[in-house]
């Protein structure tokens, strides 16, 4: 039986992040930032990361 591989590196990174962070937190983050006005913080944070 052969082992499967990921077709792209991005796919591997997304699956790894989902497993490490947890799918519940990935789905909840946009809801929480929208509800409490954190979108501006996230945009500024990403701006300074770049």
Domain that holds residue 44: 9-49
Total domains, the chain: 1
pLDDT confidence of residue 10: 94
Specify if 29 maps to a domain: yes
- The answer, yes or no, to whether residue 46 has pLDDT greater than 90, is no
Specify if 20 maps to a domain: yes
Euclidean distance between CA atoms 6 and 39, whole angstroms: 32
Burial 1-10 (b: 16+ CB within 10 A, else e): eeeeeeeeee
Percentage of the chain with pLDDT > 70? 100
20-37 residue pLDDT tens: 988 788 788 888 888 888
Local confidence band at 9 (pLDDT 50, 70, 90 cut-offs):
very high
Q: Average of pLDDT values for 12-25?
A: 87
Specify if 24 maps to a domain: yes
Specify if 37 maps to a domain: yes
């Amino acid at each position: 039986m052969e082992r499967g591989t990921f077709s792209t590196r991005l796919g591997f990174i997304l699956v790894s992040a989902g497993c490490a962070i947890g799918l519940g937190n990935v789905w909840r983050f946009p809801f929480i930032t929208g509800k409490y006005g954190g979108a501006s913080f996230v945009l500024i944070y990403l701006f300074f990361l770049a």
